Amino acid sequence: MEDVVKVNIYLKNITDMDALNEVYTNFFTDGTPARRVVGVTNLLSDALVQIDVVVANAEGTPIK
């Protein structure tokens, strides 16, 4: 998780932002990585949320 540098989140219901933040902080406790949240009208397979991440290992984090 320390190699995640950016998270893009697409929410079908932007009113779910509080629930998203509650879960998100369990994974990223120090406020990083950069994050973008976008409200959308429809997601594939009628999903409520879609998340994609950008991961970089430029810092040389050991692979476990």
pLDDT tens per residue, range 18-47: 999 999 989 888 777 999 999 999 999 999
Asked if 3 and 63 count as a contact pair (C-beta separation under 8 A), the reply is no
- Global pTM reads 0.81
Domains annotated for the chain, with CATH where assigned, are 4-54 (3.30.1330.40)
Asked if 40 and 16 count as a contact pair (C-beta separation under 8 A), the reply is no
Return the SS3 of 8: strand
- Return all residues near 37 (Cβ < 8 A) that are at least 6 apart: 9, 10, 11, 14, 17, 20
**Structure tokens belonging to residue 6:** 């950016």
